[in-house]
A and B are shown apart, each in its own frame.
Chain A
C-alpha cells in the first residue's frame, strides 16, 4: 500500500493555514506590511491601501521608508537594527506618511519574520491609525489646561479683590485717625507730634496709591489687546499738548516726528507714551532749555525702534537694570514725585506687543527710552 507522501499532507495543511492567515491579514483593519531585510516592501494588505492610499501593485518593491514621516530623524534605522538582532519591537507611537504627502499619527508594532530554518528574512509591520485617539487626548488636555487657567485666574481675581478691599481699610483707619488726632488733639500734640501724625497721613495715602498701581499692573497684564493702525507721532503730540496745558508757565520744547504709523493697541500705546513723555517732562522740570523728543531710529533686532529722549536729570547707568522693575525709583520722592510704577507699565505693554524696551542715560545728561514693537508698519 502506497502511503501518501508526508510532504504533501504538510503542504496541503500549510496551504490551508496560509489561506487562513491571508484571509486574516486581508480582513484586518490595521495595515499589515511585510518588508525585506533591506527595507523593501514585500506584501501589502487592503487596510494598508486604505490607510496610505497606495495600491499593492504600485508600492510593493519600493522602500518602506516612503511611509515613514520621521525616518529622517532616525526612527527607521533603529527599528531595523532591532529587527536585525531578531527583536520584536512592541507598539510605539509615531507618524506615518500617506501617498498624498499628509502625515497621520500611528501606533506601530514591528516583528521579525523567519523562514522554516529560523533564518531572519524580513519584518512585518502592523500599523493602526490613531488620529481619533490623539484628537480625543488633545481635546482632553485642552479642557484640562483651560480648567487650570480658569482656576489660576479665579484665584488671581480673588487676590485682586482682597488687595483692593482688605488692604485699603487699615490705611483708611491710619489716615482717618491721624487726621482726627490732628484736628481734635493738635494743640496737645505739639509741633513735632503734629508733624508725625501728618507723616502717617501722607504715608497711608502713598501706600494706597501703590496698591492702586499694583492692581492696574495686574489688570493690564490680563486685558485683551486690540490691534489697530495708530500714529504714535499724533498720540505723542496730543500728550505733549496736555502736559503743556497743565503747566502753561513752563518753557519746554517738544520735537515730535510725524507720522509714525504702527499696528498696536491704541489705549495701551497712549499709556506707554504718557508714561515716557510724562517722565521726560518731570525730569526736565529744572531746566530752562528743556527739550523732549519723540522719533524713530535704527535698531539691531527690529526694522525700527521708537524713542523718547530728554535733556533732563538723567540717571546713573549703573542702575539701568532696575529702571523697569515695579516700585524702583532712582530719585528721591522729595525731588521728583512718583510711585515707581510707570516704567514697569511701559515694559509690560511693550512686551505684550512682542517688543522690548531699553534705556540710555547719564546723571545730569538726560535720558533716552527706546522700544520696539513686533507689528511693524513704519512709514
Chain B
C-alpha cells in the first residue's frame, strides 16, 4: 500500500529537484512520477494503459502550470471516475485567498504553501508523505 507511486505535477525543475531531495531525505521511497505541465499530468492519468500500478497514491499538484493549469487538472482528476478518490495536495507558492478557495472548491484534499526555507520545505514534504501515504487510510481498492 505505501509503495503506491506519487505523482508530482511541477513545471519548475528546481522545485522538482528540491521535492525529490526532500522525499529522499525523509525516507519516503515510493516511486515518483513527474509531470512537468498540466497536459502531461492528464496524459499520464487518463491516456496510459489502465493498470493499477500507475495509479498514484498521492498527487502533489502545483497551481501555475504551462498548457493546462493546476485548477483545471484538479477538476479533471476529481471528475474522473477512476481518479476522483486519489488524494490531491496543492503544493504552490501562492497563498492568495482566491487560489486557496478555488483549490478547495474544486475538491483539493489539502493546500500547502511551499516554504522558501528548505528545512521547512523538507518538513512540509515529510508531514505530507507521512500523513497521506502512511497514516491516512486510503480508499479500499
Query: Given the complex of chains A and B, what is the CA–CA distance between A274 and B121 in angstroms?
Result: 29
A116-124, A172-180, A352-360 - interface stretch: A172-180
- A204 contact set on B, CB distance < 8 A: 116
The answer to the question of B118 belonging to the interface, with a C-beta cut-off of 8 Å to chain A, is yes
Tell me which residues from 67 to 110 in chain B have a Cβ below 8 Å from any Cβ of chain A.
Answer: 92-96
The answer to the question of A89 belonging to the interface, with a C-beta cut-off of 8 Å to chain B, is no
B13-21, B31-39, B42-50 - interface stretch: B13-21
Which of A160, A165, A171 is B116 in contact with, Cβ under 8 Å?
A: A171
With known contacts A201-B117, A205-B117, A172–B18 Cβ distance under 8 A: yes
- B116 contact set on A, CB distance < 8 A: 168, 171-172, 175, 204-205, 208
Which secondary structure dominates chain A's binding surface? helix
- A164 contact set on B, CB distance < 8 A: 93-96
B14 with A175: CB separation less than 8 A = no
The answer to the question of B3 belonging to the interface, with a C-beta cut-off of 8 Å to chain A, is no
Query: Given the complex of chains A and B, what is the CA–CA distance between A175 and B15 in angstroms?
Result: 11
The answer to the question of A146 belonging to the interface, with a C-beta cut-off of 8 Å to chain B, is no
Shortest CB distance A188–B (Å) = 18
B18 with A161: CB separation less than 8 A = no
Nearest A-chain residue to B115, judged by Cβ: A172
Nearest A-chain residue to B116, judged by Cβ: A208
Chain B 112-139: CB-based contact to A (< 8 A → 1; otherwise 0): 0011111101000000000000000000
The answer to the question of A24 belonging to the interface, with a C-beta cut-off of 8 Å to chain B, is no
The answer to the question of A169 belonging to the interface, with a C-beta cut-off of 8 Å to chain B, is yes
Shortest CB distance A8–B (Å) = 88
B121 with A169: CB separation less than 8 A = no
B21 with A172: CB separation less than 8 A = no
Tell me which residues from 180 to 217 in chain A have a Cβ below 8 Å from any Cβ of chain B.
Answer: 180, 201, 204-205, 208
B94 with A180: CB separation less than 8 A = no
With known contacts A165-B64, A179-B118, A180-B118, A172–B92 Cβ distance under 8 A: no
Query: Given the complex of chains A and B, what is the CA–CA distance between A21 and B21 in angstroms?
Result: 96
Chain A contact residue count (CB 8 A cutoff):
21
A175 with B114: CB separation less than 8 A = no
B15 with A172: CB separation less than 8 A = yes
Query: Given the complex of chains A and B, what is the CA–CA distance between A178 and B115 in angstroms?
Result: 15
B118 with A165: CB separation less than 8 A = no
Tell me which residues from 117 to 160 in chain A have a Cβ below 8 Å from any Cβ of chain B.
Answer: 160
Shortest CB distance A311–B (Å) = 36
With known contacts A204-B116, A208-B116, A172–B94 Cβ distance under 8 A: no
A173 with B15: CB separation less than 8 A = yes
- A170 contact set on B, CB distance < 8 A: 14
Shortest CB distance A185–B (Å) = 13
Which of A160, A166, A177, A208 is B14 in contact with, Cβ under 8 Å?
A: A177
Shortest CB distance A315–B (Å) = 30
A173 with B93: CB separation less than 8 A = no
B118 with A169: CB separation less than 8 A = no
Which of B18, B21, B96, B114 is A168 in contact with, Cβ under 8 Å?
A: B114
Query: Given the complex of chains A and B, what is the CA–CA distance between A214 and B87 in angstroms?
Result: 34
Query: Given the complex of chains A and B, what is the CA–CA distance between A247 and B116 in angstroms?
Result: 27
- A178 contact set on B, CB distance < 8 A: 118
Query: Given the complex of chains A and B, what is the CA–CA distance between A168 and B18 in angstroms?
Result: 14
Chain A 269-283: CB-based contact to B (< 8 A → 1; otherwise 0): 000000000000000
Which of B93, B94, B95, B121 is A176 in contact with, Cβ under 8 Å?
A: B121
Max chain B C-beta neighbours (<10 A), residue from A161, A165, A180: A165
Query: Given the complex of chains A and B, what is the CA–CA distance between A173 and B114 in angstroms?
Result: 11
Tell me which residues from 60 to 114 in chain A have a Cβ below 8 Å from any Cβ of chain B.
Answer: none
B96 with A160: CB separation less than 8 A = yes
A176 with B14: CB separation less than 8 A = yes
- A205 contact set on B, CB distance < 8 A: 116-117
Q: What are 9 sample pairs from A and B whose C-beta atoms fall under 8 A apart?
A: A161-B96, A165-B64, A165-B93, A169-B15, A172-B18, A173-B14, A173-B18, A175-B118, A176-B121
Nearest first, the 7 closest Cβ-Cβ pairs linking A and B are A173-B14, A208-B116, A179-B118, A176-B18, A176-B118, A168-B93, A165-B93
